[in-house]
Structure 1
Amino acid sequence: MFKLVKLIAQPGSWAADMDKARFNRYLINLIRAVRSNMSNKVYRILNIILIVWCCGLFVPSTYALSQAEASEKLLTPNFEEINNDWWTEWPQLSQEEKNKWLTAIRKNFDGVVSDIDYSSERHENIVLIHDLLDSLNKLVTHQPEEQLPEPKSELTLQSWLALYRSTERLNNERQRIQAEKRQRTDAIRYIQGQLQELNVLHRKLEPQSFERASNGIAFYAAQINMLYAQEKLISTDKQLNSTQAKFKTTTLRLAQSAEEITSSPSFDKQLTLQKNNLLASIEKLKSIMSSLQRRAWSSLKGEKEIVFQLSYQEEKLKLISAQSQLLSIDILLHISQMLQGMGQVSQPEWGGKKARLIQEYELLNSQLASYREQVLVSGEAANEMIYAKTQRTVWEYLEANQKLSNELKSKLRDVDFYLQSYQQFISLRKGWLSELGFGWSLWSDQAGSSLDSTINFTLFTVNEYPVTLFDLLNAILVIVLSILFSKFLKKVLYKFGQKKAVSESTIFNVARVLHYVIITTAALIALSILGIDSSKITLIAGALSVGIGFGLQAIFNNFVSGLILLFERPLKVGDLVELESGVRGRIKAINVRSTQLKTRDNIDVLVPNSEFVNFRVINYTFSDPLRRIHIPFRTSLDSDKDKVRKVVIAAAEEINFTQKDKQHAPDLWLKTIGEFSLEFELVVWVNANKLPDNDGVEAAYLWKVESALREANIEVPVPQKEIYLKRVTKVNKSIISSLEHSED
């Protein structure tokens, strides 16, 4: 008992400092003392308390040991057995802890590498580790200076412009840092992949070999590189957060400063002076460009052409940039006058000018990309592309033009901001109605300029004549209006024909001829709009004749056949015809290439026009729509012929399309007296134009005739045959023998 109390009473202050062997001996003695007193319940409770107490001692001591082991691994790099994750706690360390880590890493690394054999590869990795440690030390110890916010003062238009430019600079800086952050993140991913590859390779190499130690040094260099990449990412995040905070503050200040801005006549004089200087620069640039345009571009080929065009594009970019800056100054002058209460709300053509400048910028930017692609494709020959007048290479022109293009883009953003600010000032100083009027004027100018540049864009050229979108739309409009006019004229002609009782076929032919005349005239007008001279149509006709002679022969044949059908009029719309192929139906339309027939089964059939001209065609309604139909039927031999005649003719007259006039009255013919019946034939005249579209004319007459005969008790005979069977008692033996012989 005394021994147990003595062990428990030992102070625990040294527990965290004792080594493993001493702590293990202490724990074993404590457990033995507890076990010797297990008979008493009090000591059992005391046993539980001791276990909990020992755990309390063991956990901090174990933690201290693990920390010591980790520090030992960190302080003494082992290139034989690499440690994968000692550096993972770096982002969570404070600056002081990072400085301690770097001091320990450098000291112990120098001590380890001093005892190893050097090779060229090892030497490069060791130098790399030293350089990375130096850079990492500078990065950790560097503390960016915090800029104090500028005190608020009276905001003039000039200081407002400086505030806007500061906002633009911070925005560009923010975008640059965001791009840098993405690059840092990609670099960390790449180093992680490199560490994984080196780790896998390290496990495959022979232990205690020269290659394994060299790979360990390379792995350690990659780990130090990971520390540097993580620290750069942390620094980039801090810089990005600081820049975003400044940008937010400046943007908010700029947005809330509209009511505080003032201006003065002295600032107007400065703007006017800048405007005059820009006008002089613009005139000078225009003279330079006109001198360049006077040169024969067609005489410049290949390399010289690209360099010359780049030099011309450089002057063009300068001109557009000066015009953009001039537009900005003009807007600022109006803003200054409004702030001083000197000017009224004006609506100059700023929207149109801005739209034209943007279009010029986009065109020049696309041309620059095309020139760059041509230079890259030319390969080594691009190094010899030099403009003799300026002695500048094509690469210098590309770099200068790209820089001018970026500056022009920034100035166009300035123009857009000044226009929005002017609209905001109008709303504050003149009211929302003036703002609405200015906004409408600005939008209409931009829309008109965009529409004008779009419809005047050259699509292609015909005989050196530029064909724009406006010309093409005019040509299409002429064709569409001619088609609509032709359809309207066709409806008018049909109404006129109905009032004057003109035949449908005549109206159709006249409408079709007028349609061809209108379309042909419209086509000639459209061709003249597109720049095709009417005198050249003969050449086009000659070319078409060659095409007709080969591939378009069948189409041209059908077209000419359609004209023959229209003017000779062997067929008319509404005629009932039957072709040599057996197709029968009514003509619904005679078109350029084919004729539309509708059969009795309500099926539309398109027949080539040449078939009506080159083959036999039966036209049931060519000269007279009346046609005679023969309906055969029969009755029994004992039927009364006069009664049959009376009943059948009366039944035929009940059908509405039967002709009942004296010349075309129905008639009944007795055709044949057969063995068991009288064969009659009902002869009727019908109007083909009044017949139903289906093929049921004969069926209608047969239906009526059969019903009338049945009501009159007139028998319709059915063919009958009588078969007589004679019983044979004796059979000729010669017949039987002949049959048996035939079977054999």
Structure 2
Amino acid sequence: MGYRALFTWGLVSLLCCCLWGMARAADQASTPASAPDLQELAPDWWTYFEQASPAERTERVNTLLEQIQKITNPAHQASIERVEQAFERWQTMVEQKTKTTLDLPPLAPRQTYYSITELLQLHARLAERSNDLAARTEQVQETTQTQSRLHSELADLKLSYLETKPDDPARTDLVLDWLYKQVRLATVTAELSHISHTRDLLEDRTRQLREDFNYAQEHLAQADNDPINANALAQAQQTLTQLQTQVEQQDLTKNVLDDTSLMGKLQQQGQSLQSRQLAVDLAQAQAQVIRLQTGLYLYELLATTTQSDPDYGLMREFVREARDSTVTLGETAGQWRTELSNQRADPSIEPEVYDKTADPQQIQSLQAENRSLSDTALAAVVRLETNLSANTLLLDLLHSQILKEQGGARAAVSAVTDTAGTVVEFSLDSLRKPLFEINQVPITTLSILRFAIILLVAWLLSVLLRNGLRKLARARGREYDGPLFIVRRVLHYLIIIIGFMVALSFIGVDVSKFALIASALSIGIGFGLQNMINNFVSGIILLFEKSLKIGDFVELASGVTGEVRQMRVRSTVITTNDNVDIVVPNSEFVSGRVVNWTMREAYRRIRIPFGVAYGTDKELVRRILIEAAEKVPYTLVMPNRKPQVWLTGFGDNALNFDLVVWLTPDAVKRPGAVHAHYCWEIETALRLHHIEMPFPQRDLHLRTAPALAKWLGDEANPTETPVSSAEKRMVDPPK
């Protein structure tokens, strides 16, 4: 119960405080605010002016300004004048706020039918009001941002004023700054209210015009006096032809002025402006032809009775081409407007040579004439952009009417076709936009795609040729694999280089300019890649000499032996019998000594030396070893290449023989294993027939036996007479 009672009393107290605050606020609102005191400025001093009537407002402002004039310090004079000007602008803005009006022409009553000319007039008024509305909306946003900024600055200023002591000299500056910013805030607030109100009026008028414009689109009909007719189109086409002829003649007779003086520069500028005016007139004539032709097609579709069905395909093609032309003309007009606007903003010309004899009046006359030409051309460009906007509207109407008249599946197919065409054209336009430049040649996405496609074609051609040569090598035999491999490599690099150069020429890069770069790089390549080029040339030499091929068993000067497995442009891979791959530069095969065991034939004869004791039957040795060799699977069995046993010499301890055997092609590439196998068979055959294989023996012959006996006796009996040192050296065994 205690907590509930406390909570109840708290609610009652809060309600009483709220009622007391509301009563006090109402009392303060009913009590008029007092005049601001510059010695002690109250935070709510501005309410004194806000609550005043228009007559009281002027009197109160004058009273405050009289107080400000009493500040005699010269340092504050600029701030005082700023405050006075701010009050004057505020009073003017408040008076305009009470008289807010918008001078707009009245809306015309709706008609039963509208011609295309009347529709375009409505479109022009709608565009004008839309532009005014956009400008006024942007002005509202900017004024709102200014109001927020002033609110923030005023809050900081109030805090600084309240923290300053009354006798501080800087307090006067803070008071004047507070007065100025408060009045400035009030002016901006009144201006924002005025702009917002006019914005609302413009928005309402724009909405009404848009409704009238939409109504006119649905009630189009050709009037009797409509300027859009066949005669007007024929006349516009004739005018277009004449202007095109004038442009061509001007291009042929155009004089290039080399005068760099001020007069020459002015004449060049005038000639350029005249050419620009003629180009604008030509674009205007093109836009006029498009407008008239579009209007005639629209009237043809809107007619209630027609002699024949309209040519929808022709109309769709016209719409597509007219849209492209309109877009192109619009981009060109934008460039012209930018150039003329910049020239109008900065019309000065800096001559390279000052002509002291030039007439100042003539110079002023030329400058005035150029300014007039520039203004005329700029106004014509603005009209051209307006006409192009109207053409875009008519083309959209024609396209919609075509789809409406066709209806059903035909309209759907036409819409898909037009959309696809638009997408394709947009894609092509995007691909043609320049990304960067190489030697002043613009590079586009389309040119990059061409470059990539040409390189891809070159690579595919290289793959096809290499596959064809690989099949040829397989058909001709393994001996052609090595040379054709080098040919494949050379063709691959050659085709890629040629494709790269062709691709560069297709994108517009001058390939001849790379000749100087190539000649400079060749020097560096000759020094930096000397070994690589040497190996490459050595590979070409091996290719044409045919001294080496894949599958050969070779022995290099360095002692490396093995089978050739791969022949590359720079090196050759040799695999030893230990299954170790060794990469050997091609130059070593050309400059060094190379033993090719299988260059011409796959057969090879080897000799295995052995010895038997003196006194052994030589015929027996021949017979048993020939039988043993014939049992070895590595022995080649041919009538003219049978195994043989040769007596090669008389050794110190044995008769020296050689077992001479021709090997099969597979055995040629296994010298170590083959030699070991034959040695094994020789030892086995000799041991089975009890033939001794002697080892080295030495016989010792003693020349001085008495001295030896005497020396041996001295060693056994040291007390006997010793032998002389010379005699002892004669019998001492070698250490």
Asked if TM exceeds 0.5, the reply is yes
SS in 1 for 2:166: coil
Q: Any conservation in 2 of the 1:586–1:599 contact (CA below 8 Å)?
A: yes
Q: How does 1:715-734 map to 2 (within 5 A)?
A: none
Q: Which residue of 2 aligns with 1:31?
A: none
C-alpha distance after superposition, 1:8-55 (max 9, x if no partner): xxxxxxxxxxxxxxxxxxxxxxxxxxxxxxxxxxxxxxx99x999987
Any conservation in 1 of the 2:280–2:381 contact (CA below 8 Å)? yes
Residue 731 (structure 1) aligns with:
none
Q: 1:604 Cα shift?
A: 10
The one-letter amino acid of 2:96's match is L
Question: How far off its partner does 1:339 sit?
Answer: 0.8
Whether the aligned pair in 2 keeps the contact of 1:285 and 1:315 (CA below 8 Å) is: no
- Tell me how far 1:63 sits from its aligned partner: 2.0
Alignment of 1:17-36 (within 5 A): none
Among 50, 62, 73, the residue aligned to 1:110: 62
Q: Check if 1:157 corresponds to 2:111.
A: no
Residues 141-197 of structure 1, C-alpha deviations (whole Å, 9 max, x = no match): 023369887654313233333333333233322322232223213322443454356
CA distance in 2, matches of 1:174, 1:690: 99
- 2:633 and 2:58 mapped to 1: Cα distance? 125
1:566 is matched with: 543
Letter of the aligned partner of 1:223 in structure 2? Q
For residue 424 of structure 1, what is the aligned residue in structure 2?
400
> Is residue 475–residue 530 contact of structure 1 (8 Å, CA) maintained in 2?
yes
The residue that corresponds to 2:300 in the other structure is 337
Match of 1:440 in 2: 417
Distance 2:146 2:603 in 1: 97
Give distance in 1, aligned partners of 2:346 and 2:103: 49
Secondary structure (helix, strand or coil) at the match of 2:254 reads: coil
Matched-pair contact (CA < 8 Å) for 1:621–1:688: no
Deviation at 1:425, TM superposition (A): 0.9
CA gap 1:417/1:686 in 2 versus in 1, 3 angstroms: farther
Higher mean alpha-carbon deviation, 623-632 vs 227-236, is at 623-632
The question of 1:64 aligning with 2:26 is answered yes
* Amino acid in the other structure paired with 1:503: Y
- Determine the structure 2 residue equivalent to 1:739: none
Question: 1:435 deviation in Å?
Answer: 6.7
Q: Is the Cα contact below 8 Å between 2:154 and 2:182 reproduced in 1?
A: yes
**Do structure 1's residue 299 and structure 2's residue 299 form an aligned pair?**
no
The whole-number CA distance in structure 1 between the counterparts of 2:16 and 2:493 is 112
Q: How many Å separate the matches in 1 of 2:465 and 2:15?
A: 112
Amino acid at match of 2:285: A
Matches within 5 A, 1:273-422: 273=232, 276-277=235-236, 279-280=238-239, 283-284=242-243, 287=246, 290-291=249-250, 294-297=253-256, 299=258, 309=272, 312-340=275-303, 341-342=305-306, 343-345=310-312, 346-347=314-315, 348-359=317-328, 361-362=330-331, 365=334, 381=350, 391-392=367-368, 407-422=383-398
User: 1:81 is matched with which residue?
Assistant: 41
d(CA) in 2 for partners of 1:145, 1:123: 35
2:134 pairs with one of 157, 175, 191? 175
Alpha carbons 2:603, 2:668 under 8 Å: kept: no
**Does structure 1 residue 135 correspond to structure 2 residue 89?**
no
Q: Which residue of 2 aligns with 1:488?
A: 464
Letter of the 2:59 counterpart: K
Question: For the Cα contact (< 8 Å) 2:436–2:443, is it kept in 1?
Answer: yes
Whether the 8 Å CA contact 2:36–2:42 is kept in 1: the answer is no
What is residue 714 of structure 2 aligned with on the other side? none
Q: 1:160 touches 1:254 (CA, 8 Å); kept in 2?
A: yes
- Aligned AA (2:115): L
Structure 1 residue 488: Cα displacement: 1.9
CA-based RMSD of the aligned residues comes to 6.3
Q: Distance in 1 between matches of 2:371 and 2:352?
A: 8
* Cα distance in 2, alignment partners of residues 193 and 579 from structure 1: 92
Match of 2:522 in 1: 548
Deviations 1:557-577 (A, max 9, x none): 555445434333444456677
Distance in 2 (alpha carbons) for counterparts of 1:317 and 1:546: 50
Range moving further from structure 2, 423-432 or 234-243: 234-243
Q: Quick one: distance in 1 between partners of 2:459 and 2:245?
A: 49
Cα displacement (A) at 1:139 = 3.3
Note closer, same or farther for the CA distance 1:436–1:686 as it changes in structure 2 (3 Å cut). Answer: same
Structure-2 separation of matches of 1:468 and 1:60: 73
Q: 1:227: which partner in 2?
A: 186
**Alignment deviations for residues 575-603 of structure 1 (CA, whole Å, 9 cap, x no partner):** 67788889988554534xx3474868898
- Match of residue 218, structure 1, among 154, 162, 177: 177
Whether the 8 Å CA contact 1:577–1:620 is kept in 2: the answer is yes
Q: 2:730 corresponds to which residue?
A: none
Distance 1:266 1:509, change over 3 A: same
Change (3 A) 1:121 1:475: closer
3-state SS, counterpart of residue 299 of structure 1: coil
2:33 alignment partner, SS class: helix
Counterpart AA for 1:355: D
Once residues 526 and 419 of structure 1 are traced to their aligned partners in structure 2, the CA distance between those partners, rounded to angstroms, is 41
Give the secondary structure class of the aligned counterpart of 2:71: coil
1:724 alignment partner in structure 2: none
Is residue 118 of structure 2 the alignment partner of residue 144 of structure 1?
Answer: no
| TM-score under structure 1 length normalisation | 0.63
Distance 1:402 1:542, change over 3 A: closer
Between the aligned partners of 1:405 and 1:688, the Cα distance in structure 2 is 91
The range that moved more, 258-267 or 549-558, is 549-558
What percentage of residue pairs aligned between the two structures are identical? 17
**Residues of 1 paired with 2:675 and 2:205: CA distance?**
102
Give the secondary-structure state (helix, strand or coil) at the position aligned to 2:225.
helix
* TM-score (norm. length: structure 2): 0.63
Partner Cα distance (1:330, 1:198) in 2: 67
Number of equivalences: 626
- Structure number with larger C-alpha Rg: 2
CA distance in structure 2 between the aligned counterparts of 1:384 and 1:175, rounded to whole angstroms: 48
Equivalent pair of 2:220/2:302 in contact (CA under 8 Å) = yes
Q: Which residue is 2:715 aligned to?
A: none
Distance 1:480 1:581, change over 3 A: farther
Question: In 1, Cα distance between the equivalents of 2:427 and 2:589?
Answer: 55
Cα deviations across residues 322-378 of structure 1 (Å, max 9, x unaligned)?
A: 323431222122101211244543334442343244345435645776898899999
Task: Describe the superposition over 1:85-106 as per-residue Cα deviations: whole angstroms up to 9, x where unpaired.
Answer: 666x99xxxxxx9684665554
Residues 1:505 and 2:482 are matched in the alignment: yes
Tell me which of 204, 209, 219 is aligned to 1:260. 219
Q: Which 5+ residue runs of structure 1 have no aligned equivalent?
A: 1-46, 91-96, 633-640, 670-680, 692-696, 709-713, 715-744
Contact 2:606–2:662 (Cα < 8 Å) also in 1: yes
User: Residues 547, 63 of structure 1: CA spacing in aligned structure 2 closer, same or farther, 3 A cutoff?
Assistant: closer
Q: Give the aligned partner of residue 719 of structure 1.
A: none
How far apart are 1:662 and its partner, in Å? 9.3
The alignment partner of 2:136 has SS state of: helix
Q: Provide the C-alpha distance between the structure 2 equivalents of 1:142 and 1:383, rounded to a whole number of angstroms.
A: 58
Q: Which of the numbers 126, 129, 140 marks the counterpart of 2:83?
A: 126
Determine the C-alpha separation between the residues in 1 that align with 2:534 and 2:319: 61
